[in-house]
Amino acid sequence: MNLRLSVFLFFFSSWSYATDPVRFILPNFPPYTYQVDGELAGVGVSRVSKILKLANIPFSFKLTTDYDRAIYEIKTGHSDGFFLASQNDERDRIAVFSKPVMENAWCWFLLNSSNLDPKHSSFKAANIGTILNTNTHKWLNKNEFISVSGVLEPQTLLKMLSKGRLDAIFLSEAVFTEAIGKLGQSKKQYKTVIQKIRPFGLYLSKTYLAKNPKTLIKINKSIQVLYSDISNREK
């Protein structure tokens, strides 16, 4: 084999196994993913950026309104992945879930004056609020809660609760904490009941992975290095 052919094959091989950039779509979901002064921010943005840089994977981030819009972007091929997310059947049909990047506590929040018990069967008749199109919203509907209100902003839920338009709020604990901070409130004003703790990770579309099968392997290895305490709990 001559030198020119060897060089050509080397560069062809390198190009063939190169990783395509991952176009991530991020739902507006403070404190995990949001925008401030034109810049993307949040613990999700910070953690996933570190993971992708360690894995040496090129990427881009774009913000959208909510999780349903993110799913639409994946289905139509306009984006290759999204985060932060907990796992469900709808998402599993179009994408593959990573190792957990962090944990997400789903909690009930009620006014201190409330006598309702989220663990009682009668609670399914209560007026419940959550963030529109999130997994908490889908979980409430799947579990046949009778009256569920989905809104875009958690602060709206807090105002509805204080005015008696809701009996309880069902949210990620971090989202609730962020919201009451913005309103200048204290957690002591509310009762908190943990429903479950879910792993939070990222999804890569099956279409993208068909062309780049090693990308998720690299990402999972980086997650294991950076956040092994969380990943090991999921085994």
Q: What is the CATH number of the domain that holds 210?
A: 3.40.190.10
Domain that holds residue 112: 104-197
**pLDDT recorded at residue 58:** 97
Within a domain: residue 44?
yes
Domain identity same for 181 and 151: yes
Contacts 24+ apart (CB under 8 A), 122-126: 123/168, 126/167, 126/168
Amino acid 209 reads L
**pLDDT recorded at residue 231:** 52
Within a domain: residue 6?
no
Mind listing the pLDDT tens digit of every residue in the chain (235 residues)?
Answer: 443 433 333 333 333 346 799 999 999 999 999 999 999 999 999 999 999 999 999 999 999 999 999 999 999 999 999 999 999 999 999 999 999 999 999 999 999 999 999 999 999 999 999 999 999 999 999 999 999 999 999 999 999 999 999 999 999 999 999 999 999 999 999 999 999 999 999 999 999 999 999 999 999 999 999 998 775 555 4
- Using alpha carbons, list the distances in angstroms from residue 70 to 74, 151, 221, 233: 6, 16, 25, 28
Domain identity same for 81 and 130: no
Domain identity same for 74 and 119: no
Domain identity same for 92 and 204: yes
Domain identity same for 65 and 48: yes
Within a domain: residue 63?
yes
**pLDDT recorded at residue 19:** 79
**pLDDT recorded at residue 4:** 46
**pLDDT recorded at residue 2:** 44
Domain identity same for 39 and 98: yes
Domain identity same for 63 and 136: no
Pair 109, 172: CB distance under 8 Å: no
Within a domain: residue 11?
no
Phi and psi at residue 93, in whole multiples of 5°? -70, -25
Domain identity same for 111 and 165: yes
The total number of structural domains that make up the chain: 2
